[in-house]
Structures are given as structure tokens and as C-alpha cells.
Amino acid sequence: MTAVTIDQFAMTPEGIEHLPTGAKFTPRPGSPFSGTLDRARLGEKLANGDDYPPDEVQGMMEDLWAEYVLKNDLAGDLPDLKPR
């Protein structure tokens, strides 16, 4: 298995992506903790031999996204909204 590291993720207000696999979470407008997960190549062995554990990628993605949302106040007027 290939290690999952923070530098493998890109985040914008439009969502978060695990760059090696292309897995993306795109939040619904006004609801930053619900949305769509596109698994892309998550769970597949990549052409370069990398094999990322899906649970680790998704777990880190959720943690990093929650931190990003709270840090950048993307929850807007939903102050009681907490990540799952």
C-alpha cells in the first residue's frame, strides 16, 4: 500500500481532490458537509504501481475538508453545523 499524505490533496471552496487518484468531494451549495464523492480511481492500483488505501484517503479527505471549511468560514450562516 502507498502512504496517504496531506500534500496529495488540493482544496478550494469548490471541494477537495486526492490528486493521485482523482477522487473528489464536491459539496452542495450552502451545505459544505454534504455533497458528492467521485471515487475516480480510488481503490485501483495506478499505472505507476501506487495503491492507496481507500479508507485512509477518504478519512484524510474528510478531516482535511472539515478543517478547511471551518478555517475559511465556508459554513457561512450555519454556525452549529459540524462535520460528521
For 5-27, what is each residue's pLDDT tens digit?
999 999 998 999 999 999 999 99
For 44-69, what is each residue's pLDDT tens digit?
999 999 999 999 999 999 999 999 99
Whether pLDDT at 83 is above 70: no
* Cα separation, 70 vs 50, whole angstroms: 31
